[in-house]
Structures are given as structure tokens and as C-alpha cells.
Amino acid sequence: MANRLAQTTSPYLLQHADNPVDWWPWSPEAFEEARRRGVPVLLSVGYASCHWCHVMAHESFEDAATADYLNAHFVPVKVDREERPDVDAVYMEAVQAATGQGGWPMTVFLTAEAEPFYFGTYFPPEPRHGMPSFQQVLEGVVAAWSDRREEVAEVAGRIVRDLAGRSLTTGEGNLPGEPELAQALLRLTRDYDEKHGGFGGAPKFPPSMVIEFLLRHHARTGAEGALQMAADSCAAMARGGIYDQLGGGFARYSVDREWVVPHFEKMLYDNALLCRVYAHLWRATGSDLARRVALETADFMVRELRTTEGGFASALDADSEDAQGRHVEGAFYVWTPAQLREVLGEEDAAFAAEHFGVTEEGTFEEGSSVLRLVGAGETDTTDAARVDDVRARLLAARELRVRPERDDKIVAAWNGLAIAALAETGAYFGRPDLVERATEAADLLVRVHMGDVARLCRTSKDGRAGDNSGVLEDYGDVAEGFLALASVTGEGAWLEFAGFLLDIVLQHFTGEGGQMFDAADDAEQLIRRPQDPTDSATPAGWTAAAGALLSYAAHTGSEAHRTAAEGALGIVGALGPKAPRFIGWGLAVAEALLDGPREVAVAGPVAGELHRAALLGRAPGAVVAAGEGPDAGYEFPLLVDRPLVGGEPTAYVCRHFVCDAPTTDAGELAAKLGG
């Protein structure tokens, strides 16, 4: 019999709707039930494409005996972390503080007042590698709850007080300047993996936000080391197994430091961020590899993640069914030499094996290999036609395999990132279809996620808005996407929509001394109001909002928005020199602040030569307004009193609305903007 999760729209919760566990969604009613029965709450947090979430579900939550015990002694609550990042953030902070590590599935035991008292992540069905079994954990918690209730209450109260007592030193008044950004670059240089690219060891995640900082820093200062780290990291990822060499798009992370074997789930946010990174790298270097990867990643998002409503789905699962009918990780993507021969024949299979690094021993499990580029370099075109032919045939054969499941929910923030990436990539490479896909996704966000009141909801599915309120990253990333779309299309409505969202940021997410909060002041009250300025897999809501506020202020001259952006960036001055890998987007926004950011007004046709030169300018965080005619200034304040010169399309480059001499020459404009 289906449990209460059957009434939800979350793909992750729906995966558990037929469990024998009597799950509740996160709700006041669940905690009231725990209070009525006098039992603790088991909080289980995960997401639809999480491999170990599937493992624990199969081992424990689908097991009738385990479910019977859970139902008798707990109120089980299941949360989709992608729908409720506020709930996830609060309890993950507690898990990490108590255990020194975190991850998903997250398993937390709570009182009926939602106070945590015992923590963990994945628990196996039997004791393993020093971990207790899930049944042992459940029995231990029940014993403590029954025999030592006062001790449990004391532990829970102490944890809540500890969380509530944590405060951030925001660095108020300490705007990041040249010394702080130079120190951040030096620290990154020390953490850089010179042999394999990227930062740190295994597992290794794509450093998207850090690369944006490096590219902006190089554009502003000319620091060649910054550009080299960015370019080499991008090349290593693009040639590695983390990149899908057949279909395009990036997996979540590499389990090794060499980028050979990925964790195979593909997330919208990673691909949106990396699409933009490679487009910006091409803008800086003209790299053919960067161009190819940017376009292939954009095409992957449109082909495999776009929904019928025009938005972009959250993720593709890591697991799928293999030829033996087993549900295993990576089955859709990996190859053996025998499989190559079956598709390509002996001669082409030998060529493909050498080019893509497929060996008899394999680089993955059971003698299979993840495809990588280990053959000729990108500039060697000797076998380019043959490579293209082999790729096409392998891709066609792969399409006959059982595809990974897709998480079809639309997350506002991640769609904002995709809108920015597709709009810019389409503009750079003459692909108006990509700009159109970005516009359709933006239309969906306005129509479904904003509704009539311009307050964002976090998610939607099948054109139906979800029940969860947008968090700070939703407002910051959607505003960022709208601002990028405004610059590319010359449609001022997107600037106006961004202003609506950023006014809500000022009203409901901004605190004293430049602080930003991840949840609005009128959102559901948890045991702590979540607040984190550091990047995770996506830009922190704190610095995403700061970047959008800064860009909007550059477009409009709004002192309130610029003041809020500067206040928020104080945290970058405090954390950037110490932990640059974890505040990369904040450092990128700080580069824009130091550069102005520059305001570019193009009085002339959208998509004309001057407009394209403006968009290709590398000045960090520069904003672009383009249009002609009497209405252009109404839509874009930057175009007010910016006439044509000699009847020709004219560009004005300004800082703080003080402009250089206008130019009608695209080459001169490019030189002004570092193009």
C-alpha cells in the first residue's frame, strides 16, 4: 500500500511511495504524530539521483522486517534535499559538527521538537567496516529513548544551543581588494594539482566557481598563472572520464584525482556551470577544445534534460540496468573491448580502444572502461573524420541500452544557471536556438515559479508549482539568469523581473552588517535559520545574490542594490584568502567589483557587430544593454541619453555611469573590454 509520499510531486519522495516504511513528508503533522505517540522522528534526507540513497533504500527501506520495526518505534520522515535545502543545511551542519563528515543519505534522529540527538549517513544492513548495522542503530536509539530520555533531551538541547550560538564574522566594511584577491590566488596555486589539473585529491569535483574567478582575475590583471590553471584544469576534465566523450555533458565528480572514473550521475547545475566556464574560456583563449565542450554540453542539456514545459530537469541517475538485468552504476556509459568490436568491427574497435583508453583490464568494474581521450591531441585533425564516425556509431549503439532514470523536477536556481549558460553560449557561437531555449526556461520560471506575486517557489513538476518556498540561491541564480538573458536579447523585461526578485532579497533575506540568510525571514522557522556563504556544488546563495545585486546596480544605478552587494562581499574579504576553493563565486564577484563593473551601452541593433563585441568583452562582470529607438532607454537605463554618433550604431563604456568617449568601431570596443 502506498504511503503518504504518493501525494507529493518530488521524484525522490515518489521513489519511496511504495516502501513498507510508513513515511511522512516533512510537515508539522509528522512532528505532532511523534509527540502524540511519544516516539522519536527518523529523518532521512537524500535526492533522486543519489547512488547510496538507492542502496540504503533497497537494503533497508524496502525490507519488511526493518520497516515494521521503524513503523513501530519511530515516525519516519523523508526529505528531498533538493526541494528543501534549508532543512538539509540545518541538519547537515549538525551531522558534520558531530561526526566530522557528511553526505547522503543523511540519517538523523530527532525529538518531536525537531531537535537532533543522533546522526549518521549511510548505514549498512549488517555491521561492515567498523559501521554498525542500521538495525543496531535503530535498536540503540530506541533503548536510549526508553531508558535515558533525560540524557537524550540534554544532548538534543545542547546541540540546538550550539547551532544557535554559531555566528558568522561577516567582515563588515572589509571589502575584498587587491591584497585579498592576490592572497586567494596564491593559496589556490598551492592547492593546485599541477599534474592532473583541478584542486586537491580524490574525490575531485569540477572547480567551476574557482575557474570563473581565475578567468576574471586574468582578464583584470593579466596574471598568466591564473589563466594557465583554468585552461589546464578544463582540458584535463574534458579529456577525462568525467566528461561524456560520446554524448557530451559532465558527471558529478571523479572518484580519483586523475579524472578517470566518475560518479556517473549528471546534474543540471554542474553542466550549466561548466557550459558557461568553457564558453568563457573560449572567449579568453579561442580554444577549439573549449568551444567544442561548451557547445556539446549545451546540446546535452537541451537534448537530455529539457522538459516538455520548456524548463530543465534536475538530473540523470548514476545507475541503470545492464545487459544482465542488474541495476548498477555506470552501466549506460562504460565499454569493454568486446562491446567495441560488436559495434565497430575489429579494425575500428582497435582504433577506438586506443583513442578512448579502453583496455582488457578496464578502468572501471568487471573489465569495463570509462571512455577518455588518450589518443591524439585536439589540434591533430589527421583522424578527425574517423573519430567523428566512431563516436556517432557508438552513441547510436548506446542509445539502445536502458537509459538512466531522469529526475524531472524543475529547480528554480539551477534553471537560472542554465539560462545564463545557454544565453551566453548561444550568443558567442551564433546559436540562436540556444538563446531561444534559455528564453523558454525563463518564461516557465516567470509563469509557474513566480506566479502573480513575484515570490519564487523552489520547484515545479509537469507545469505544477511545488509547495516549497524559494531560498536565497533561487533568487540569486534566477536573477543572474534573467540579467544574462537581458544582455543577450536586448529585452528589458528580463531586467525588470530580476529587479523584482532582488527587491525581495533586500526585504527578506538581508540582515545586519551585510549578512545574507538562505531562508527568508517569513519562511518556516527551523531550529536555526540557515546561513552559509561558502560554495558547495553551486554558488552560495549569499554570493550569488551579491553578484546579481552588483550587476543590477550597474544596469540601473541603484545605490541600495550596490550597497547590499558590497555589504555581502565583506565575507569574501574575510574568507577568500583562507579558503578560496570554497568561496570561488564570491571571489569572481569581487573581481567584478574591483573592475567597476563596467557598464556597456550599445545604441544599435541587437545581435549587431557592436553588440557581439560587447558580449565577448572579458572585463569581469561587465553588464551590457543593447537596443535602438525611443523605447530602448525606457527598458535599459544605461541607454538613456546614449545617441547614435553620425547615424551609426554606437557603444559607450562606463564605470559608475561615467563614460569614455563613444565608439562606432567594434575593434576599438573589443580593445576597451579586453576582447
When pLDDT is averaged across residues 25-36 and rounded to a whole number, the result is 95
* 489 falls within a domain: no
Using an 8 Å Cβ cutoff, are 625 and 602 in contact?
yes
Is residue 579 one of the residues assigned to a domain? no
* 235 part of a folded domain: no
pLDDT given for residue 52 in this prediction: 87
Q: Which residues pair with 128 in a beta bridge?
A: 131
Give the number of other CB atoms < 10 A from CB of residue 48: 25
Q: Is residue 90 part of a domain?
A: yes
pLDDT at 368: 96
Q: What is the pLDDT of residue 162?
A: 80
Average pLDDT over residues 527-537: 91
Give the pLDDT of residue 596: 94
User: Residue 631: is it exposed, middle or buried by C-beta count within 10 angstroms (0-12/13-18/19+)?
Assistant: exposed
**Residue 73 domain-assigned (yes or no):** yes
Instruction: Answer whether residue 533 shows pLDDT above 50.
Output: yes
Query: Residue 117 contacts by C-beta under 8 Å, 6 or more apart in sequence?
Result: 40, 109, 110, 111, 152, 155, 156, 159
- Residues 548, 498: Cα–Cα separation, whole Å: 8
Name, of 31-35, 146-150, 462-466, the range with top average pLDDT.
31-35
Least confidently predicted of 107-121, 171-185, 376-390, 644-658: 376-390
Instruction: Measure CA 199 to chain center.
Output: 18
| Alpha-carbon distance values, 546 to 482, 590, 647 (Å) | 15, 9, 38
CB-CB contact of 413 with 473 (8 Å): yes
Q: What is the pLDDT of residue 344?
A: 95
pLDDT band at 174 (very low <50, low <70, confident <90, very high): confident
pLDDT level of residue 101 (50, 70, 90 thresholds): confident
pLDDT at 173 over 80: no
Q: CB under 8 Å to 396, separation ≥6 — which residues? A: none
Note the pLDDT of residue 425: 98
Asked whether residue 377 carries a pLDDT value surpassing 60, the answer given is no
What does the block give as the cell for 467? 509547495
Task: Tell me if 491 is assigned to some domain.
Answer: no
pLDDT digit string, tens, across residues 281-325: 999 999 999 999 999 999 999 999 999 999 999 999 988 888 888
CB-CB contact of 83 with 35 (8 Å): no
Whether 617 contacts 670, CB under 8 Å: yes
**Percent of the chain predicted with pLDDT > 70:** 97
Q: What is the predicted pLDDT for the residue at 119?
A: 87
DSSP element (H, E) containing 315: strand 313-316
**Under 8 Å CB-to-CB from 27, ≥6 apart: which residues?**
none
DSSP conformation class of 130: T
Position 597 pLDDT exceeds 50? yes
What are the pLDDT digits (tens) for 492-527?
999 999 999 999 999 999 998 889 999 999 999 998
Place of cell 555533458: 249
- Long-range CB contacts (within 8 A, 24+) of 522-528: 523/86, 523/469, 523/471, 524/86, 524/469, 526/86, 526/87, 526/90, 526/114, 527/90, 527/114, 527/115, 527/116, 527/160, 527/163, 527/164, 528/90, 528/93, 528/160, 528/163, 528/164, 528/166
> From CA 571, how far away is CA 541, in angstroms rounded?
13
Query: Is the pLDDT confidence value at 1 over 70?
Result: no
CATH of the domain at 29: 3.40.30.10
The CA–CA distances, whole Å, from 648 to 605, 665, 667 equal 10, 10, 15
pLDDT recorded at residue 49 = 81
Flag whether the pTM goes above 0.85: yes
Helices 224-239 and 268-285, axial angle in degrees (round to 10): 130
* Residue-level pLDDT at 508: 97
pLDDT at residue 102, rounded to an integer: 83
Q: In which band, very low, low, confident or very high, does the pLDDT at 379 lie, cut at 50, 70 and 90?
A: very low
Q: Is residue 241 part of a domain?
A: no
Please compute the mean of the pLDDT values over residues 389-403 and round it to a whole number: 95
Look at the chain and report how many structural domains it folds into: 3
Q: Is a pLDDT exceeding 50 seen at residue 107? A: yes
% of the chain at pLDDT higher than 90 = 81
Band (pLDDT 50/70/90 cuts) for residue 376 is low
pLDDT (0 to 100) of residue 171: 61
Q: Are strands 262-263 and 313-316 parallel, antiparallel or unpaired?
A: unpaired
pLDDT of residue 630: 73
Q: What are the pLDDT digits (tens) for 182-236?
A: 999 999 999 999 999 999 999 999 999 999 999 999 999 999 999 999 999 999 9
* Average of per-residue pLDDT across 448-457: 86
Q: Are 620 and 551 in contact (CB under 8 A)?
A: no
Nearby residues of 115 by Cβ (< 8 Å), 6 or more positions away: 156, 157, 159, 160, 527
**Where does a domain end: 398, 420, 453?**
398
Q: Which residues pair with 119 in a beta bridge?
A: 108
Residue 167 pLDDT: 63
Q: What is the pLDDT of residue 38?
A: 95
Residue 232, Cβ density class (10 Å: 0-12 exposed, 13-18 middle, ≥19 buried) = middle
Q: What angle do CA 310, 298, 580 make, to 5 degrees?
A: 110
Look at the block and give the residue holding cell 523523508.
Answer: 78
Q: Which three cell numbers stand for residue 609?
A: 557587430
In this structure, is residue 270 part of a structural domain? no
Residue that wins the pLDDT comparison between 131 and 381:
131
Q: Please tell me the predicted confidence (pLDDT) of residue 372.
A: 97
**pLDDT at site 494:** 98
**Does residue 154 register a pLDDT over 90?**
no
Q: Does 131 have pLDDT greater than 90?
A: no
- What was the pLDDT predicted at 160? 82
Please tell me the number of Cα atoms within 13 Å of 521 on its side-chain side: 11
pLDDT score of 150: 87
Q: Among 133, 165, 197, which residue terminates a domain? A: 165
Chain centroid to CA 609: 32
- For residue 155, the model assigns a pLDDT of 86
> Cβ atoms within 10 A of the Cβ of 224, count?
9
266 in Cβ contact with 295 (< 8 Å): no
Locate 185 and state its grid cell.
Answer: 590566488
Q: What confidence score (pLDDT) does residue 36 get?
A: 96
pLDDT band at 48 (very low <50, low <70, confident <90, very high): confident
Phi, psi of 193 (to 5 degrees): -90, 100
Average of per-residue pLDDT across 571-580? 94
Region 610-623: what's the mean pLDDT?
97
Range(s) of the domain holding residue 657: 599-672
Which of 147, 165, 183 is where one domain is finished? 165
- What helix, strand, coil percent values describe the chain, rounded to 5? 50, 15, 35
Beta strands per DSSP E along 105-187:
106-110, 116-120
Is cis: bond before 597, omega within 30 of 0?
yes
* pLDDT reported for residue 170: 67
Residue 446: which residues within 8 A CB-CB, separation 6 or more? 497
Q: How confident is the model at residue 455 (pLDDT cuts 50, 70, 90)?
A: confident
pLDDT of residue 2: 67
Task: Tell me the average pLDDT of the chain.
Answer: 93
Distance, in Å, from the CA atom of 81 to the CA atom of 407, rounded to the nearest integer, reads 13
Provide the pLDDT for residue 336.
96
Residue range 250-282, pLDDT digits in tens: 999 999 999 999 999 999 999 999 999 999 999
